Amino acid sequence: MNINFKKKKVLITGSTKGIGLGIAKKLNSLGCTVILNSRKKVSKNFLNKNFNFNVDYFKFDNCSNDDVKKKLKNIKRKYKSIDFLICNVGSSRTSQKKNKYIEEFNRMFEVNFFSNIFVIENFLKIFKNKNFLKIICISSTSANYLSNAPLSYIVSKSALNSYVKAKSKTLDKNATINA
């Protein structure tokens, strides 16, 4: 795929460290306006240190449907449209506490599955972008292959992949979603 990224707007969730920050830096270097997201506030110094231009930041918790909806409305007011949505929130860190099996599954689904669903579903309702839209969800090979990852992580990422496949069939022909 040959895409001219100049003047494109991209929202990247979970983008102030790790994979998300790496994606944000690369897309920014290609000319995208990058809208970062995390649960914790970042400083202007962090933004200036990591980016040269066209960067913004919105603090919200992707695991809260209400917070996601409210902040996406704020982003729409400011930017009108978004060309790319990259859902990057996720974690493989699990609790080692015994007898917390169900609680751990709930937490992993909240972080790895619902955080992405809340963003995608609200984004599609709020932005209603009919032109060019790409949604990308960062998942894991652990969702498809046996690995040493925790079972709750494997199952939550597998559920995300299944959602992405099913949801992609419901979207407008110009929109795509990939995991």
Question: Among 57, 54, 47, 56, which Cα is nearest to 29's?
Answer: 54
CA 158 to chain centre: 16
Question: Among 10, 120, 130, 125, which Cα is nearest to 73's?
Answer: 125
- Position 140 scores a pLDDT of 78
Three-state DSSP at 102 gives: helix
- Position 1 scores a pLDDT of 58
Query: Can you give the pTM of this predicted structure?
Result: 0.88
Tens of pLDDT, residue by residue over 129-161, are 655 578 889 887 776 666 788 888 888 999 999
- Position 13 scores a pLDDT of 96
**What token pair was written down for 147?**
């690995």
Identify the residue whose tokens are 């990422």.
157
- Position 168 scores a pLDDT of 86
99: left (phi over 0), alpha (psi -120 to 50) or beta: left
133-137 and 175-178 strand pairing: parallel
- Position 143 scores a pLDDT of 63
Three-state DSSP at 84 gives: strand
- Burial (0-12, 13-18, 19+ Cβ within 10 Å), 19: middle
d(CA 164, CA 38): 22
- Position 36 scores a pLDDT of 95
Element (H, E) at 176: strand 175-178
Contacts of 21 (CB under 8 A, 6+ apart): 15, 50
Amino acid at 144: N
The segments of the chain whose pLDDT lies below 70 read 1, 95-98, 129-132, 143-146, 172-179
